[in-house]
Amino acid sequence: MNAYLELIRAGNCAMAAIAATIGVFIAYNILISNSYGSVPVPLYGSLLVFMTVFMVTGAGNAINDYFDIEIDRVNKPERPIPSGRIGLTVALYFSLALFSIGTLFAFLINPVCGIIALANSLLLIYYAKVLKRTAFVGNLAVGYLTGSTFLFGGAVFFENGGLESVFVLFLLATLATVAREIVKDIEDTEGDKMDGARTLPIVIGQKRSAYLAAIIGLIAVLASPLPYLQSFMSIRYLLLVAVADLLFVIAVCEILGKGDPGKSSRMFKMAMAFALLSFIAGA
């Protein structure tokens, strides 16, 4: 059992599931505070969201290890598959079973949640097999998958306008994640070259990649007041997101002015944490 929990990275699964559940209650609070009619407390839906995201995330981690077997034999021989604790074929079927069960749970919520879970499952498989080592498209995929946490939460209430209420939050989370993923690729350029990857910094160079990350990050900063201006978020959101914006600007300065992708990536991570806090406080 421990080997399977290690394969799916259970701790990461739990964190993603908790974030998605928070997304449900953010969408719920936005809807009830903006008079979208009678919206029931989403206790049952929240439980299913937690289970869906836990399983789909675990499946994505497992399928990632399945496709990375040759790399992990060298870099991470202690992982469950290269160490022989879980067979390669068993890991594949285990991953597919988790994808299937997680998607089934999502369809139990409603068809829109089911479609999002199915699309994300297919994207995770394609990402692990193809997109992870491609320029920019892989960054976009990770950005979408992160932002879709809010889409999934809003989809629980799609009949009450839930998707519309969280769409800007989805875009902001996606933009911020894409910017950070590019910076991480800059940081990992040498290792990625040895691995034969074709990430954005390898294809167009580190400087151009840094400029692109900065532009995307600054777009997220400029767009951050929109949820408040649309009356989806309270003044508390505006105050906290200002801190996140400041951290985003510092992250951009670190990558452009000082050429320090490691520190820039950490600042992006801190900014995203404050952005999540602003979503919670402002809803």
Q: What is the pTM of this model?
A: 0.83
Q: Where are the domains of the chain?
A: 1-160, 164-283
Question: Could you tell me what percent of the chain has a pLDDT over 70?
Answer: 95
Give the model's pLDDT for residue 36: 54
* Tens of pLDDT, residues 3-54: 899 988 888 888 888 888 888 888 887 777 766 556 677 788 899 999 999 9
Write the DSSP assignment of the chain as a string of letters: -HHHHHHHTHHHHHHHHHHHHHHHHHHHHHHHHTT-S-----HHHHHHHHHHHHHHHHHHHHHHHHHTHHHHHHH-TTSTTTTTSS-HHHHHHHHHHHHHHHHHHHHHH-HHHHHHHHHHHHHHHHHHHTGGGSTTHHHHHHHHHHHHHHHHHHHTTGGGTHHHHHHHHHHHHHHHHHHHHHHHHHHTHHHHHHHT---HHHHH-HHHHHHHHHHHHHHHHHHTTHHHHTTSS-HHHHHHHHHHHHHHHHHHHHHHTS--HHHHHHHHHHHHHHHHHHHHHH-
Average pLDDT over residues 60-82: 84
* Residue 19 backbone dihedrals phi, psi, to 5 degrees: -60, -40
Asked if residue 200 lies in contact with residue 162, where contact means CB atoms within 8 angstroms, the answer is: no
Given a cut of 70, is residue 170 above it in pLDDT? yes
**How high does pLDDT run on average in the chain?**
85
* Tens of pLDDT, residues 183-217: 888 877 776 676 667 778 888 888 888 889 889 98
Q: According to CATH, what is the number of the domain 164-283?
A: 1.20.120.1780
Domains 1-160 and 164-283 in one fold:
no
Enter the tokens of residue 235: 């003044």
Give the model's pLDDT for residue 244: 86
Under CATH, which architecture does the 1-160 domain have? Answer: Orthogonal Bundle (1.10)
Enter the tokens of residue 211: 């400029």
Average pLDDT over residues 133-160: 86
Q: Say how far apart CA 217 and CA 177 lie, in whole Å.
A: 9
Lowest average pLDDT, out of 76-85, 96-105, 190-199, 236-245, goes to 190-199
Q: Which residue has the higher pLDDT, 213 or 165?
A: 213
| Most confident among 96-110, 156-170, 239-253 (mean pLDDT) | 96-110
